[in-house]
Amino acid sequence: MGTDRPYRWHGDGESPAREVELRPYRIGRCTVSNREFAAFIDATGYATEAERYGWSFVFHLFLPDDFPDTRAVAATPWWRQVFGADWAHPDGPQSDVEDRWDHPVVHTSWDDAQAYCKWAGMRLPTEAEWECAARGGLVQKRFVWGDEFSPGGQTMCNIFEGRFPVENTAEDGYVGTAPVDAFPANGFGLRNMAGNVWEWCNDWFHPTFHRSGSRTDPEGPLTGEARVMRGGSYLCHDSYCDRYRVSARSSNAPESSSGNLGFRVAGDPSAKLHEGVGSS
């Protein structure tokens, strides 16, 4: 788990590379889709935090040209605060998910993800479980499929191509999200463990806690201010954030949401295993 190689982001706590033992677990083949999340909403009447707050963060290129001015995040001005943006209106109130039922649900906070998992009898993966699953049986590779970005010229994931953040040439076929089962599976049969959408993990984020923390079924610090997210998204660009690497980490406040952040479920097996077996 983790990496000591020079491409790591030093402040993120990707290092040290370390041996971690995990008990068996299950993890979703794909991130939760809009279809699946819609069923949860229909069945429970749950209102997401973005719906309760009334807004979420939308990437500026998805807004219509005539969209009124909104607040933006100072350090990342391409993120715009959009009222009426939520999981069912991912690009703002003028949008819907009619043509995206198979795409990952986004604008779901960590708390929303927890609520979905509870309904489904599942839980979020720990960060260690997530990374072990993402590596797909490979050891200390840069990406979930190996060290080479585009083996044999094949497109392996959905990230941002072109000039970030103003022009996405979509060489991978997608400007925004891609269907949850797009692109080749990794060694464990899991889809989109790199790119497409960031994925919530259960752990509180800390840049150095894991240096001294447990190496057996680590669950992260007991408390914190932000939860771990992993995997990178369709907005990852080499010039700005190559965090679609398998060891890359990031975090966000548990109540926050954005148009490039989703989740996949995990669970404890009661018998034999299918996916996400082993240790990294």
Partner 1 sequence: MTERTRDRMRGSMVRVPGGTFRMGSDNHYPEESPVHTVTIGGFSISPTTVTNQQFRAFVDATEYVTVAERPLDPADFPGAPAENLVAGSLVFTMTSGPVDLRHLSRWWTWTPGACWRHPEGPGSGIEGRADHPVVQVAFEDADAYAVWAGEELPTEAEWEYAARGGLEEMAFVWGNDAVPDGTYLANFWQGDFPWRNSAADGYPGTAPVGSFAPNGHGLFDMAGNVWEWTTDWYGDHHPPDADKPCCVPTNPRGPVIEASYDPAQPQFRVPRRVIKGGSFLCADEYCQRYRPAARRPQIAYTGMSHIGFRTIVRAPTSTS
122 lines the binding site for partner 1 (CB under 8 A) = yes
Tokens of 66: 């005539």
How many residues of this chain bind partner 1 (CB under 8 A)?
36
Assign 265 to helix, strand or coil.
Answer: coil
Q: Which among 69, 13, 5, 6 has a CA at the least distance from the CA of 204?
A: 13
272 lines the binding site for partner 1 (CB under 8 A) = yes
Give the C-alpha separation, 141 to 246, whole Å.
Answer: 8
Question: CB of 163: closest distance to partner 1 in angstroms?
Answer: 29
Phi, psi dihedrals of residue 201, rounded to the nearest 5°:
-115, 165
30 lines the binding site for partner 1 (CB under 8 A) = yes
Site for partner 1 in 162-221 (CB under 8 A): 180-181, 184-185, 189
The amino acid at 107: H
Question: CB of 174: closest distance to partner 1 in angstroms?
Answer: 14
Length of the chain: 280
Q: 11 or 121: whose CB is closer to partner 1?
A: 121
Give the C-alpha separation, 145 to 142, whole Å.
Answer: 8
Site for partner 1 in 10-29 (CB under 8 A): 26, 28-29
277 lines the binding site for partner 1 (CB under 8 A) = no
Sign of CA dihedral 156, 157, 158, 162: negative
38 lines the binding site for partner 1 (CB under 8 A) = yes
Question: CB of 43: closest distance to partner 1 in angstroms?
Answer: 5
Q: 140 or 155: whose CB is closer to partner 1?
A: 155
Residue with tokens 């190559």: 242
Q: Among 3, 33, 114, 196, which residue sits at the site for partner 1 (rule: CB under 8 A)? A: 33
Q: 69 or 98: whose CB is closer to partner 1?
A: 98
Angstrom distances, CA of residue 203 to CA of 98, 127, 220: 33, 6, 5
Kindly list the residues in this chain that would bind partner 1 in the complex (CB under 8 A). 26, 28-30, 33-36, 38-43, 88, 98, 101-102, 118-122, 180-181, 184-185, 189, 267, 269-275
